[in-house]
Structure 1
Amino acid sequence: MEEATLGIRGKLAPQNIKQTAWIPGSNAFTQLAGNTGNEVLLSTSVPQMKSDTLIRLQDINQALFNREPLKAMPALQWIDGNSFYFSIANTFYTGQRANGKWQYNKWRVVPEQAENMQVDKGSQQIAFTTANNLQLIDNKGQLHAVTNDNNKNIVNGQSVHRNEFGIDGGIFFSPKGNFLAYYRMDQSMVNDYPVVDWASTPAVANLIKYPMAGGTSHQVTLGVYNPITRQTVFIKTGEPKDQYLTCVTWSPDEQYIYIALLSRNQNHLALNQYDARTGALVKTLLEESSDKYVEPQHPLHFLSGKEFIWWSQRDGFMHLYRYNTDGKLLNRVTQGDWLVNDIVATNTAKKELTLTATKESPLEKHIYSVNWESGKMKRIDNAAGYHTPEVNEDGTLIIDRYQAGNTPRNIDLIDARKNWRKNIVTATDPLAAYQRPKIENVTLKADDGTALYGKLIYPVNFDPAKKYPVIVYLYNGSHVQLITNSFPASGNLWYEYMAQHGYIVFSMDGRGSSNRGLKFEQATHRQLGTAEMEDQLKGVAYLKSLPFVDADRMGVHGWSFGGFMTTSLMLRHPGVFKVAVAGGPVIDWSMYEIMYTERYMDSPQDNPKGYADNNLLTKTQNLKGKLLMIHGAQDDVVVWQQSVKFVKACVDNGVQLDYFIYPGHPHNVQGKDRVHLMQKITDYFDEYLK
């Protein structure tokens, strides 16, 4: 069970090379070599493939850590071709090369309680938060208290809007480091919510701010701090105050800040340009509207001082559009019934972007170059599967890590200019010695004819004359895709463990899940759980059509949105599944966070029927079969109260339910305790399904 749960990221992980990075200003990349305690960082030139020792851990230890030597090479971040930094706890160190020799020094020390640390390499400044305030250490080592809010409910420099809309932080250095923009979130108007620490006696209620659908949301503004004047200007984003501020981007000349303002109901977006020095609105460059929702996920990508790439799903798929800073659309860069995943490099000389996209298949990710004027596109990789590139500054040299169902990991070096490639790693199969099941790709059709992709995992030592129990594993929510052409082909070693123990395992991405475009995703709008269940029942019908499936022994399992789906199937389609395990489930969407829920469901006030139809508290009396519900006691994503109220509804209706909690764990159970979790789930299926 430990191997099945932790192995693919641990001792069963395919061979890899660590600390790969392109050295700035060179055609050389780094990789880690050597044994623990004696590691070295190698530099390999391309295309000569000559490797030399660049940095020795022993030298770093001798210079900086003589008393307590580091056991492993720290994660080095290149500043330029001759300098780097790294951090150990709250202390930053630098390495600088002069006359072929490295000099190592202690650089900066931040407070022990510092969080959200961000280094601006160019200006060599460090911004960080302590509690709810933002601080800055400038390039002279001076400490700036950028904010000094005594009200703990005003939070500076941290991620806002609960990490929706592609937001993953709240600190934005300007391109040359002359200014520091940051989110300021006032959540004093949001209800307190207790997340109880049961490890203390008596237990301690840690109060967080959790804005629930239809309720009062927080209010966000953007400040711009000038380290020279030590003054802050706030951008005048205006009313309504509970709008969402997304896609924050500096102009290359530091004169302007661009912000996409998204309405609370998420059906209208305006991309605005603001004067960074006064905070005044300069102009609105573009607007996007939808009868369902607009979902920005990316900041602007500047091509020059006057042109940028804007990401948009306006035609149903996430594509790239070239605009000038007057707001004029110059051209579409990409188009088609597929979507762009990421921009990974810019080649200004050739007017090309290096990007990853689903052009070949929604189940794969490949690397392309595209001319941003002509739209001419060229695929760079040449193997099926899921590709993750590391690209040098101009997109000409690529370290291409890829995998496919039966390809554990290959790493190729690619010179995109000369169409040259060299394989540097072909990982052996770490699962070769194990008894593994047959895995079959399945394509079904939704009610509207849309293709639904799934995988059927057969029991080992399969006998077609026998009938086997089935476990359906699902998620089926937005921004998640379970079915891809990646290693292992099953998608999860726990599935294979269950197949070794006599189960068929089936998994499928229904409408609402990721990488299929807006029509596929928005089929669930205002009725989360309904279209998704229709699709999953197509999977059930397919399973029942197989002569070796025991339709009386079908189980279902999922976590988070998958927990909601699992519970929904048991209550809204009782009798289909004999046994279910639902983890961290949403039970009542009116108790989930505003940003996510109102995008897909609108507000409870605007869509009372949608919320009522999918409220599982009112359906406990329908339960047939065995249901085990599991929740993390410190869950601040799907709050524990969701399933506690479900237990109460079961008690009120005289319905029996099995229930388990994981104290100390938030939304997901991780680490060694995850082995306990998966054993708990397995034992439940073994007891009631096998």
Structure 2
Amino acid sequence: MKLTFRLFAFLLTATSLVSAQKKEITLDEIWNGTFRQEYLQSLQSLNNGKEYVILNFDRATRTSTIDVYSYESGEKTRTILSSANLPEIAYFTDFQFNDTETKLILGTELESIYRHSTRGIFYVYDLQSKELQKISEHKIQEPTLSPDGKKVAFVLDNNILIKELASGEFTKVTEDGEKNKIINGITDWVYEEEFSFVKAFHWNPTGEKIAYLKFDESEVPEFSMDIYGQDLYPSKTTFKYPKAGEKNSEVSLHLYDVAKGENSAVELGDYSDFYIPRIKWTNNPEVLSAQVLNRHQNVLDLLFVSAKENSVKVVLNETDDAYVDVTDNLTFLDNNSFIWTSEKDGWNHIYLYNKEGKLLKQVTDGNWDVTNYYGLDPKTKTVFYQSTENGSINRDVFSIGTNGKHKKQLTEKTGQNSADFSADFTYFINSFTSATTPYEFTLHLAKNGKLLRKIKDNTALLNKIADYTFTSKEFSTISVNGNDLNMWMMKPPKFDASLEYPLFMVQYSGPGSQTVSNSFYSSNDYWFQLLANKGYVVVAVDPRGTGYKGSNFKKITQNELGKYEVADLIQAARQLGELDYIDQDNMGIWGWSYGGFMASNAILKGNDVFKMAIAVAPVTSWRFYDSIYTERYMDTPQENPSGYDENSPLNHVEKLKGDLLIVHGTGDDNVHVQNSMRMIEALIQANKQFDWAIYPDKNHGIYGGNTRLHLFTLMTNFIEDHLEINPNTKLSL
């Protein structure tokens, strides 16, 4: 057995965080905002590149303002709009400019639908005439101004409409929209969840045409959930949810000629059972790009659609033995050459193609991943990106020419660096955090990374934390099953290597994810610290299948989710249990969602290793989960039945020896409570004792009111009841 601890010097210093007579963290403090970080408000760069706007809300007067600030000085220069000057609106919570920044769309009365989607009452405000116009008396979705600002397109009751602002007249682009049947211009549930977009229509650059997607979900199976609420009888919500191997929506691409009022379907070619995860107009207003992905998600075609001739050309074909990631990185240059990202050399990198799809240059190269693409400065032909060049648990920001030369690292501090660039790529605001540093925000020159000014930091939080007992995250790698896995460990404050401590493993482990990162405490991290203070050694490990270590490491789990990741976690715990200071008879594991799937499998398949487990909102069979996510990694159940069943906790319940807590919300539209109910029934029929908790009407996040405090109190008590601390160790705490 080889166990390596290569510490990366992220220990919290004695003078700042660890000293005698400290206060102990409480669960109340974790969830009442005591340790909340200050963040930079969401900002939007103006076209001039010198200024940005922020939506501010004055709680005292309950008014909204769109305020303009200078990048260079940080000073407020003017207010574009205040709701105090709008008698029709008390306040607004969302806004967007048209392309020329002459008009605004203001959002009020917004209500969530699913993870990303909302509907609300929207207005158009003319910055020149100072006139305000309500778009519709009904709550609508995704209102978008035409490039000239004279029209607004939106979705109402699954149909696309256009409003002529001067006349107030409405034009129906589509008329066949119907709930749970036909959707025009917005995505269905599974596209929204797994392809991460809602608006599925786009004006072309001249405003003469609209491209949109239509979803026919008539044959998609329905899923229903009881809503218990406060009424005498529960209500029910029903929506289309394609599970693995089931019927998907039939998606089609359409073009609408605004002047002629005519719709035309685009004949994409010889495709069947496919997805259209992205559409985007090129710099040529007559050419639309569309990405077509096969159901297995291992073949993606980039198409150029001629809006004038309604013809289609395959410009780029991307294939992968496992799957092709869909991104928002496609960027067109003036001549319609384009930037594309791909893992085709084993790592995620940036590529430049001409408008015919011929590769001109692999812009970035190396055994590291590009983790974010920020954009292209067309004037200097400079690409800006984030990567793992300085270690997989870190992120830095770089610039490089489209010719692959003149690469510059624009950030200096070791940790997580993330950039937000001005519209003309003159400046960027860097967000930085590390294991010892809560978020700090600074302004830099994009051409060389020069620091111009500090914007905001969390010194006040560090000062507050100094009054509490904190240990440190010790970052290292552990050699497991032939791979060096990233790991961090938190030890009790008065750690004594001559004593034995129970071990509590935390993880997520999903494809391409990362739990072990050089970043500051999240809410869960404070809980982990609370457990360490109670006498537990808390460990996080990223097994095979997680991200940022190349595609081979990430995609080894293809067709067998839950096999290699579970084997790695069990073996890692077994090796850690061999350390003199770990009580190998008192080791537990916790996880949420995919992590709940892993925790369930770990206590069953690793019943000689883990004494207890907590599975929150777990997937218990991938047969129950949605088609796009599941089939990306598993193919369909019809094609891969053993992959689905051999690693399903449902089929291993007879192996349970330890203590298991299952937690789920009944209003979870993502990982349905069906998963836990089937697991509970399987355990009952196997005559296995376990604990479970159901949170009525709570979604996948299980929050609202007192819910999080109650949940984490429940889990803390369960850990203390079932992971025993040695009496001698207790005396030393």
Question: Is the deviation greater in 482-491 or in 462-471?
Answer: 482-491
Q: 1 CA distance for matches of 2:389 and 2:169? A: 49
Q: Is the 8 A contact 2:157 2:178 kept in 1?
A: no
Cα–Cα, structure 1 residues 346 and 107, in superposed 2: closer, same or farther, change >3 Å? farther
Q: Which runs of 5+ in 2 are unaligned?
A: 1-25, 110-120, 725-733
Q: Is the 8 A contact 2:364 2:404 kept in 1?
A: no
Alpha-carbon deviations, 1:284-310, whole Å to 9, x = none? 112122232223323521012321112
* 1:65 Cα deviation from its structure 2 partner: 4.1
Counterpart of 2:314 in 1: which secondary structure? strand
Cα–Cα, structure 1 residues 225 and 83, in superposed 2: closer, same or farther, change >3 Å? closer
Q: 2 CA distance for matches of 1:397 and 1:512? A: 36
Cα–Cα, structure 1 residues 490 and 26, in superposed 2: closer, same or farther, change >3 Å? closer
Counterpart of 2:125 in 1: which secondary structure? strand
Aligned to 1:147: 174
Q: 2 CA distance for matches of 1:457 and 1:122? A: 56
Q: Is the 8 A contact 1:19 1:75 kept in 2?
A: no
Alpha-carbon deviations, 1:125-182, whole Å to 9, x = none? 4433333323333454433322222543111222244333454542323233332222
Q: Is the 8 A contact 2:65 2:83 kept in 1?
A: no
Q: Is the 8 A contact 2:177 2:183 kept in 1?
A: no
Cα–Cα, structure 1 residues 639 and 490, in superposed 2: closer, same or farther, change >3 Å? closer
Q: 1 CA distance for matches of 2:585 and 2:147? A: 61
Residue 50 (structure 2) pairs with residue 27 (structure 1): yes
Q: How does 1:277-426 map to 2 (within 5 A)?
A: 277-281=308-312, 283-298=313-328, 300-417=330-447, 420-421=450-451, 422-426=453-457
Cα–Cα, structure 1 residues 19 and 532, in superposed 2: closer, same or farther, change >3 Å? closer
* 1:256 Cα deviation from its structure 2 partner: 1.7
Cα–Cα, structure 1 residues 419 and 185, in superposed 2: closer, same or farther, change >3 Å? closer
Q: Is the 8 A contact 1:478 1:512 kept in 2?
A: yes
Q: 2 CA distance for matches of 1:613 and 1:144? A: 54
Q: 1 CA distance for matches of 2:420 and 2:293? A: 32
* One of 219, 224, 245 as aligned partner of 1:214: 245
Q: Which has the higher contact order (CA 8 A, sep 6+)?
A: 2
* 1:530 Cα deviation from its structure 2 partner: 0.9
Aligned to 2:479: 445
Identity of matched residues, %: 27
Question: Is the deviation greater in 246-255 or in 84-93?
Answer: 84-93
* One of 59, 79, 85 as aligned partner of 1:63: 85
Q: 1 CA distance for matches of 2:434 and 2:126? A: 38
* 1:417 Cα deviation from its structure 2 partner: 3.5
Q: 1 CA distance for matches of 2:59 and 2:235? A: 41
* 1:238 Cα deviation from its structure 2 partner: 4.0
Q: Is the 8 A contact 1:118 1:171 kept in 2?
A: no
Aligned to 2:525: 492
Residue 43 (structure 2) pairs with residue 13 (structure 1): no
Aligned to 1:460: 493
Aligned to 2:159: 133
* 1:615 Cα deviation from its structure 2 partner: 2.3
Cα–Cα, structure 1 residues 16 and 109, in superposed 2: closer, same or farther, change >3 Å? same
Cα–Cα, structure 1 residues 475 and 138, in superposed 2: closer, same or farther, change >3 Å? farther
Q: 1 CA distance for matches of 2:466 and 2:131? A: 46
* 1:534 Cα deviation from its structure 2 partner: 1.9
Q: 1 CA distance for matches of 2:44 and 2:515? A: 29
Residue 631 (structure 2) pairs with residue 598 (structure 1): yes
Q: Is the 8 A contact 1:42 1:54 kept in 2?
A: yes
Q: 1 CA distance for matches of 2:601 and 2:149? A: 53
| Count of residue correspondences | 675
Q: 2 CA distance for matches of 1:310 and 1:201? A: 55
Q: 1 CA distance for matches of 2:31 and 2:205? A: 40
Cα–Cα, structure 1 residues 445 and 173, in superposed 2: closer, same or farther, change >3 Å? farther
Q: 1 CA distance for matches of 2:107 and 2:438? A: 32
Residue 707 (structure 2) pairs with residue 677 (structure 1): no
Cα–Cα, structure 1 residues 23 and 295, in superposed 2: closer, same or farther, change >3 Å? closer
Q: Is the 8 A contact 1:166 1:298 kept in 2?
A: no
TM value normalised by structure 1: 0.91
Q: 1 CA distance for matches of 2:54 and 2:159? A: 37
Task: State the AA in 2 paired with 1:677.
Answer: L
Q: Is the 8 A contact 2:415 2:435 kept in 1?
A: yes
Aligned to 1:157: 185
Aligned to 1:87: 107
Cα–Cα, structure 1 residues 573 and 88, in superposed 2: closer, same or farther, change >3 Å? same
Alpha-carbon deviations, 1:465-516, whole Å to 9, x = none? 3322222111100242111111128972211122222222111111112222
Q: 2 CA distance for matches of 1:117 and 1:497? A: 46
Q: Is the 8 A contact 2:103 2:124 kept in 1?
A: no
Q: 1 CA distance for matches of 2:198 and 2:493? A: 42
Q: 1 CA distance for matches of 2:650 and 2:341? A: 39
Q: 2 CA distance for matches of 1:374 and 1:132? A: 45
Counterpart of 1:660 in 2: which secondary structure? strand
* 1:388 Cα deviation from its structure 2 partner: 2.3
Q: Is the 8 A contact 1:134 1:147 kept in 2?
A: yes
* 1:562 Cα deviation from its structure 2 partner: 0.5
Q: 1 CA distance for matches of 2:42 and 2:319? A: 43
Alpha-carbon deviations, 1:665-684, whole Å to 9, x = none? 22221233222221221121
Cα–Cα, structure 1 residues 106 and 497, in superposed 2: closer, same or farther, change >3 Å? farther
* 1:235 Cα deviation from its structure 2 partner: 1.7
Q: Is the 8 A contact 2:411 2:449 kept in 1?
A: no
Aligned to 2:20: none
Alpha-carbon deviations, 1:194-223, whole Å to 9, x = none? 222223543333222222222222211122
Task: State the AA in 2 paired with 1:135.
Answer: L
Residue 299 (structure 2) pairs with residue 268 (structure 1): yes
Q: How does 1:167-246 map to 2 (within 5 A)?
A: 167-199=197-229, 200-246=231-277
Q: Is the 8 A contact 1:157 1:169 kept in 2?
A: yes
Aligned to 1:502: 535
Cα–Cα, structure 1 residues 299 and 171, in superposed 2: closer, same or farther, change >3 Å? farther
Alpha-carbon deviations, 1:361-388, whole Å to 9, x = none? 2212222111112343211122222122
Cα–Cα, structure 1 residues 433 and 235, in superposed 2: closer, same or farther, change >3 Å? farther
Aligned to 2:684: 651
Task: State the AA in 2 paired with 1:12.
Answer: F
* 1:555 Cα deviation from its structure 2 partner: 1.4
Q: 1 CA distance for matches of 2:56 and 2:558? A: 50
Q: Is the 8 A contact 1:4 1:497 kept in 2?
A: no
Counterpart of 2:82 in 1: which secondary structure? helix
* 1:84 Cα deviation from its structure 2 partner: 4.8
Task: State the AA in 2 paired with 1:60.
Answer: S
Question: Is the deviation greater in 16-25 or in 679-688?
Answer: 16-25
Q: Is the 8 A contact 1:408 1:429 kept in 2?
A: no
Q: 1 CA distance for matches of 2:246 and 2:652? A: 24
Task: State the AA in 2 paired with 1:658.
Answer: D
Q: Which runs of 5+ in 1 are unaligned?
A: 98-102
Counterpart of 1:346 in 2: which secondary structure? strand
Q: 1 CA distance for matches of 2:314 and 2:526? A: 50
Q: 2 CA distance for matches of 1:25 and 1:472? A: 50
TM value normalised by structure 2: 0.86
Task: State the AA in 1 paired with 2:481.
Answer: D
Q: Is the 8 A contact 1:508 1:536 kept in 2?
A: yes
Counterpart of 2:712 in 1: which secondary structure? helix
* One of 637, 644, 660 as aligned partner of 1:627: 660
Counterpart of 1:483 in 2: which secondary structure? coil
Residue 490 (structure 2) pairs with residue 435 (structure 1): no
Cα–Cα, structure 1 residues 125 and 399, in superposed 2: closer, same or farther, change >3 Å? farther
Q: 2 CA distance for matches of 1:69 and 1:598? A: 46
Q: Is the 8 A contact 1:456 1:506 kept in 2?
A: yes
Alpha-carbon deviations, 1:58-84, whole Å to 9, x = none? x82442149x854xx855545556765
* 1:581 Cα deviation from its structure 2 partner: 0.9
